[in-house]
Amino acid sequence: MSYFEQIDKEKLPSHVAIIMDGNGRWAKSHGQERIFGHFNGVEAVRASLKAATRAGIPYLTLYAFSTENWNRPKEEVEALMNLLVETIINEIDELDRNGVRLCAIGDTDQLPDACRTQLFRGIERTRSNAKVSLILALNYSARWEIVNAVKTIGRSGISEEKIDADLVSNSLTTRDFPDPELLIRTSGEHRVSNFLLWQIAYTELYFTDTLWPDFNEEEFYKAVVDFQHRERRFGKTSEQISPSAQTDKVR
Ligand code: FPP
Protein backbone atom coordinates (compact mmCIF):
# COMPACT_ATOMS: atom_id res chain seq x y z
CA MET A 1 0.00 0.00 0.00
CA SER A 2 1.42 3.42 -0.91
CA TYR A 3 2.01 6.00 1.82
CA PHE A 4 -0.65 8.18 0.23
CA GLU A 5 -3.21 5.40 0.74
CA GLN A 6 -2.13 5.05 4.38
CA ILE A 7 -2.95 8.68 5.23
CA ASP A 8 -5.85 9.16 7.64
CA LYS A 9 -7.74 12.13 6.17
CA GLU A 10 -9.26 12.86 9.59
CA LYS A 11 -5.87 13.38 11.25
CA LEU A 12 -4.03 15.62 8.82
CA PRO A 13 -1.55 18.19 10.11
CA SER A 14 -2.87 21.65 9.27
CA HIS A 15 0.64 23.00 8.72
CA VAL A 16 3.82 21.27 7.56
CA ALA A 17 7.13 23.15 7.65
CA ILE A 18 10.24 21.89 5.86
CA ILE A 19 13.95 22.57 6.26
CA MET A 20 15.12 21.70 2.76
CA ASP A 21 18.67 20.44 3.18
CA GLY A 22 21.23 18.47 1.21
CA ASN A 23 21.26 20.19 -2.18
CA GLY A 24 25.03 20.70 -2.07
CA ARG A 25 25.75 17.07 -1.13
CA TRP A 26 23.32 15.83 -3.78
CA ALA A 27 25.13 17.90 -6.43
CA LYS A 28 28.52 16.64 -5.26
CA SER A 29 27.33 13.04 -5.43
CA HIS A 30 26.42 13.72 -9.07
CA GLY A 31 29.84 15.28 -9.74
CA GLN A 32 28.32 18.76 -10.15
CA GLU A 33 28.54 22.27 -8.64
CA ARG A 34 26.33 23.09 -5.63
CA ILE A 35 23.91 25.21 -7.66
CA PHE A 36 22.98 22.11 -9.72
CA GLY A 37 21.56 20.75 -6.45
CA HIS A 38 19.48 23.91 -5.91
CA PHE A 39 18.11 23.68 -9.48
CA ASN A 40 17.04 20.11 -8.84
CA GLY A 41 15.68 21.14 -5.46
CA VAL A 42 12.94 23.08 -7.24
CA GLU A 43 11.47 19.76 -8.41
CA ALA A 44 11.21 18.67 -4.76
CA VAL A 45 9.49 21.97 -3.93
CA ARG A 46 6.95 21.20 -6.66
CA ALA A 47 6.49 17.64 -5.38
CA SER A 48 5.93 18.76 -1.78
CA LEU A 49 3.42 21.40 -2.80
CA LYS A 50 1.58 18.88 -4.95
CA ALA A 51 1.57 16.39 -2.07
CA ALA A 52 0.27 18.96 0.43
CA THR A 53 -2.47 20.00 -2.01
CA ARG A 54 -3.44 16.41 -2.81
CA ALA A 55 -3.54 15.39 0.84
CA GLY A 56 -5.52 18.50 1.83
CA ILE A 57 -2.91 20.17 4.06
CA PRO A 58 -3.68 23.91 4.00
CA TYR A 59 -0.30 25.39 5.04
CA LEU A 60 3.19 24.54 3.78
CA THR A 61 6.23 26.55 4.89
CA LEU A 62 9.61 26.12 3.21
CA TYR A 63 12.92 27.40 4.58
CA ALA A 64 14.27 28.72 1.28
CA PHE A 65 16.91 31.22 2.48
CA SER A 66 18.09 31.91 6.01
CA THR A 67 19.73 35.13 7.22
CA GLU A 68 22.88 33.01 7.71
CA ASN A 69 22.84 31.93 4.04
CA TRP A 70 24.23 35.38 3.04
CA ASN A 71 27.58 34.02 4.29
CA ARG A 72 27.77 31.51 1.42
CA PRO A 73 30.00 32.25 -1.60
CA LYS A 74 28.70 35.32 -3.52
CA GLU A 75 28.07 33.29 -6.70
CA GLU A 76 25.92 30.79 -4.81
CA VAL A 77 23.85 33.53 -3.15
CA GLU A 78 23.32 35.22 -6.55
CA ALA A 79 22.39 31.93 -8.16
CA LEU A 80 19.89 31.16 -5.39
CA MET A 81 18.26 34.59 -5.73
CA ASN A 82 18.07 34.23 -9.53
CA LEU A 83 16.60 30.77 -9.13
CA LEU A 84 13.94 32.14 -6.82
CA VAL A 85 13.02 34.92 -9.27
CA GLU A 86 12.90 32.53 -12.24
CA THR A 87 10.92 29.93 -10.31
CA ILE A 88 8.27 32.47 -9.30
CA ILE A 89 8.03 33.79 -12.88
CA ASN A 90 7.77 30.26 -14.33
CA GLU A 91 5.39 28.80 -11.75
CA ILE A 92 3.05 31.64 -10.82
CA ASP A 93 0.37 30.82 -13.46
CA GLU A 94 0.17 27.22 -12.33
CA LEU A 95 0.20 28.17 -8.65
CA ASP A 96 -2.69 30.55 -9.27
CA ARG A 97 -4.61 27.95 -11.32
CA ASN A 98 -4.23 25.43 -8.50
CA GLY A 99 -5.55 27.75 -5.79
CA VAL A 100 -2.18 28.31 -4.13
CA ARG A 101 -1.73 31.48 -2.08
CA LEU A 102 1.92 32.58 -2.10
CA CYS A 103 3.13 34.15 1.16
CA ALA A 104 6.52 35.11 2.59
CA ILE A 105 8.03 35.40 6.06
CA GLY A 106 11.40 36.93 6.90
CA ASP A 107 13.19 40.20 6.37
CA THR A 108 12.09 40.54 2.73
CA ASP A 109 13.08 44.25 2.63
CA GLN A 110 16.72 43.16 2.38
CA LEU A 111 16.21 40.90 -0.65
CA PRO A 112 17.48 42.05 -4.07
CA ASP A 113 15.01 44.30 -5.97
CA ALA A 114 14.20 41.76 -8.70
CA CYS A 115 13.44 39.18 -6.07
CA ARG A 116 11.15 41.48 -4.09
CA THR A 117 9.34 42.61 -7.23
CA GLN A 118 8.49 39.09 -8.40
CA LEU A 119 7.74 37.89 -4.89
CA PHE A 120 5.28 40.69 -4.14
CA ARG A 121 3.73 40.43 -7.60
CA GLY A 122 3.13 36.73 -6.93
CA ILE A 123 1.78 37.39 -3.43
CA GLU A 124 -0.60 40.07 -4.73
CA ARG A 125 -1.82 37.94 -7.63
CA THR A 126 -2.60 34.88 -5.48
CA ARG A 127 -3.83 36.76 -2.40
CA SER A 128 -7.42 35.46 -2.56
CA ASN A 129 -6.58 31.81 -3.27
CA ALA A 130 -7.66 29.50 -0.48
CA LYS A 131 -6.68 25.90 -1.19
CA VAL A 132 -3.14 25.92 0.18
CA SER A 133 -0.84 28.66 1.47
CA LEU A 134 2.75 28.25 0.30
CA ILE A 135 4.84 30.25 2.78
CA LEU A 136 8.42 30.92 1.70
CA ALA A 137 10.83 31.75 4.52
CA LEU A 138 13.22 34.18 2.84
CA ASN A 139 16.03 35.97 4.65
CA TYR A 140 14.40 34.43 7.69
CA SER A 141 15.75 33.55 11.11
CA ALA A 142 13.68 32.87 14.20
CA ARG A 143 15.88 34.98 16.47
CA TRP A 144 15.53 37.95 14.10
CA GLU A 145 11.78 37.43 14.15
CA ILE A 146 11.57 37.15 17.95
CA VAL A 147 13.78 40.22 18.48
CA ASN A 148 11.52 42.15 16.09
CA ALA A 149 8.42 41.02 17.96
CA VAL A 150 9.95 42.12 21.28
CA LYS A 151 10.75 45.54 19.74
CA THR A 152 7.18 45.89 18.43
CA ILE A 153 5.73 45.02 21.83
CA GLY A 154 8.14 47.39 23.60
CA ARG A 155 7.27 50.27 21.23
CA SER A 156 3.53 49.71 21.74
CA GLY A 157 3.86 50.77 25.38
CA ILE A 158 1.58 47.93 26.50
CA SER A 159 1.58 47.26 30.25
CA GLU A 160 3.61 44.27 31.45
CA GLU A 161 0.66 42.28 32.80
CA LYS A 162 -0.98 42.31 29.36
CA ILE A 163 2.00 40.59 27.71
CA ASP A 164 1.21 36.92 27.13
CA ALA A 165 1.95 34.11 24.67
CA ASP A 166 -0.88 35.18 22.35
CA LEU A 167 0.50 38.70 22.12
CA VAL A 168 3.96 37.35 21.24
CA SER A 169 2.46 34.95 18.63
CA ASN A 170 0.51 37.84 17.11
CA SER A 171 3.65 39.96 16.89
CA LEU A 172 5.55 37.40 14.78
CA THR A 173 5.66 37.32 10.96
CA THR A 174 3.66 34.07 11.14
CA ARG A 175 0.69 35.73 12.89
CA ASP A 176 -1.70 34.76 10.06
CA PHE A 177 -0.82 31.05 10.13
CA PRO A 178 -1.37 28.24 12.63
CA ASP A 179 1.78 26.81 14.26
CA PRO A 180 3.28 23.92 12.28
CA GLU A 181 2.20 20.49 13.51
CA LEU A 182 4.95 18.69 11.60
CA LEU A 183 8.50 19.86 10.86
CA ILE A 184 10.49 17.87 8.33
CA ARG A 185 14.26 18.15 7.84
CA THR A 186 15.99 16.30 5.04
CA SER A 187 19.59 15.14 4.59
CA GLY A 188 20.21 13.42 7.93
CA GLU A 189 20.90 16.59 9.95
CA HIS A 190 19.13 16.72 13.31
CA ARG A 191 18.93 20.47 13.95
CA VAL A 192 16.30 23.19 13.73
CA SER A 193 18.77 25.86 12.58
CA ASN A 194 17.03 29.01 13.81
CA PHE A 195 13.74 28.10 12.08
CA LEU A 196 10.35 28.95 13.64
CA LEU A 197 11.71 28.50 17.18
CA TRP A 198 8.66 29.98 18.93
CA GLN A 199 6.16 28.25 16.67
CA ILE A 200 7.55 24.69 17.00
CA ALA A 201 7.02 24.44 20.78
CA TYR A 202 4.67 21.44 20.30
CA THR A 203 5.56 20.46 16.75
CA GLU A 204 6.41 16.85 15.86
CA LEU A 205 9.90 16.63 14.31
CA TYR A 206 10.64 14.27 11.45
CA PHE A 207 14.15 13.66 10.13
CA THR A 208 15.01 11.75 6.99
CA ASP A 209 18.37 10.90 5.39
CA THR A 210 16.94 11.67 1.94
CA LEU A 211 18.69 14.63 0.32
CA TRP A 212 16.29 17.43 -0.64
CA PRO A 213 16.39 16.97 -4.46
CA ASP A 214 15.34 13.32 -3.94
CA PHE A 215 12.44 14.21 -1.63
CA ASN A 216 9.35 13.29 -3.63
CA GLU A 217 5.58 13.02 -3.07
CA GLU A 218 5.76 9.59 -1.44
CA GLU A 219 8.49 10.81 0.94
CA PHE A 220 6.17 13.63 1.97
CA TYR A 221 3.26 11.24 2.57
CA LYS A 222 5.61 8.93 4.52
CA ALA A 223 6.37 11.81 6.91
CA VAL A 224 2.65 12.53 7.30
CA VAL A 225 1.90 8.87 8.08
CA ASP A 226 4.72 8.84 10.66
CA PHE A 227 3.23 12.00 12.22
CA GLN A 228 -0.17 10.33 12.42
CA HIS A 229 1.28 7.50 14.50
CA ARG A 230 2.67 9.86 17.14
CA GLU A 231 0.85 10.45 20.40
CA ARG A 232 0.60 14.22 20.84
CA ARG A 233 0.18 14.97 24.53
CA PHE A 234 0.90 18.69 24.92
CA GLY A 235 2.22 18.05 28.44
CA LYS A 236 -0.69 15.81 29.52
CA THR A 237 -0.57 12.09 30.33
CA SER A 238 -1.48 9.28 27.94
CA GLU A 239 -4.63 8.56 29.97
CA GLN A 240 -5.83 12.13 29.65
CA ILE A 241 -5.35 12.06 25.88
CA SER A 242 -6.84 8.57 25.44
CA PRO A 243 -8.56 7.29 28.63
CA SER A 244 -8.24 3.65 27.47
CA ALA A 245 -4.41 3.84 27.44
CA GLN A 246 -2.94 1.68 30.22
CA THR A 247 0.69 2.72 30.20
CA ASP A 248 2.15 6.17 30.41
CA LYS A 249 4.76 6.40 27.70
CA VAL A 250 8.02 8.22 28.29
CA ARG A 251 7.65 11.85 27.31
C1 FPP B 1 19.98 23.62 1.54
O2 FPP B 1 20.88 22.74 0.94
C3 FPP B 1 19.20 24.37 0.56
C4 FPP B 1 19.08 25.73 0.51
C5 FPP B 1 19.77 26.63 1.44
C6 FPP B 1 18.29 26.42 -0.52
C7 FPP B 1 16.96 25.84 -0.84
C8 FPP B 1 16.54 26.32 -2.18
C9 FPP B 1 15.87 25.60 -3.12
C10 FPP B 1 15.42 24.22 -2.92
C11 FPP B 1 15.58 26.16 -4.46
C12 FPP B 1 14.64 27.28 -4.59
C13 FPP B 1 13.49 27.31 -3.70
C14 FPP B 1 12.27 27.77 -4.02
C15 FPP B 1 11.25 27.89 -2.96
C16 FPP B 1 11.90 28.15 -5.39
P17 FPP B 1 22.44 22.96 1.19
O18 FPP B 1 22.94 23.82 0.08
O19 FPP B 1 22.67 23.50 2.54
O20 FPP B 1 23.00 21.50 1.05
P21 FPP B 1 24.28 20.87 1.79
O22 FPP B 1 23.95 20.85 3.26
O23 FPP B 1 24.36 19.49 1.21
O24 FPP B 1 25.45 21.72 1.46
pLDDT per residue as tens digits for the range 203-243: 999 999 999 999 999 999 999 999 999 987 788 888 887 77
User: Please, which residues have CB within 8 angstroms of residue 116's CB and are 6 or more apart in sequence?
Assistant: 108, 109
Q: How far is the CA of 235 from the centre of ligand 1 (A)?
A: 34
Residue 247 reports pLDDT greater than 60: no
Which atom of ligand 1 lies closest to the CA of 27? 23
Share of the chain above pLDDT 90, in %: 92
Domain spans, the chain = 10-231+238-250
pLDDT above 60 for 33: yes
Q: Which of 21, 40, 139, 214 is catalytic?
A: 21
CB atoms within 10 A of CB 242: 10
Q: Are 180 and 16 in contact (CB under 8 A)?
A: yes
Residue 245: predicted pLDDT: 55
pLDDT digit string (tens) for 91-125? 999 999 999 999 999 999 999 999 999 999 999 99
Residue 152 has a pLDDT of 98
- The closest-lying atom of ligand 1 relative to the alpha carbon of residue 65 is 5
Per-residue pLDDT at 179:
98
Higher pLDDT, 246 or 28: 28
Q: Residue 195: name the closest of 117, 110, 151, 137 by CA.
A: 137
Q: Which of 33, 38, 103, when mutated, tests ligand 1's pocket best, judged by the most ligand atoms within 8 Å of its CB?
A: 38
Checking DSSP bridges between strand 100-105 and strand 182-185, what pairing results, if any? unpaired
Across-strand partners of 15?
59
Residue 244's pLDDT is what? 67
Nearest CA among 148, 122, 118, 142 for reference residue 133: 122
d(CA 32, CA 108): 30
98 given a catalytic annotation: no
Please give the pLDDT value at position 243.
Answer: 72
The atom of ligand 1 lying closest to the CA of 62 is 15
Binding pocket residue ranges, ligand 1, CB within 6 Å:
20-25, 34, 38, 41-42, 45, 62, 64, 69, 83-84, 87, 136, 187, 212
Average pLDDT value for the chain: 95
By CB atoms closer than 10 A (0-12, 13-18, 19+), residue 86 is middle
Give per-residue pLDDT as tens, 185-195: 999 999 999 99
- Determine the pLDDT at residue 250: 46
Res 238: pLDDT: 81
Q: Judge: domain 10-231+238-250, CATH 3.40.1180.10.
A: yes
Question: 89 in helix, strand or coil?
Answer: helix
Q: At what angle do helices 217-228 and 34-55 cross, to 10 degrees?
A: 60
Is-catalytic flag, 69? Answer: yes
Residue 78 Cα, ligand 1 centroid: separation in angstroms? 13
Q: Is 248 a residue whose pLDDT tops 50? A: no
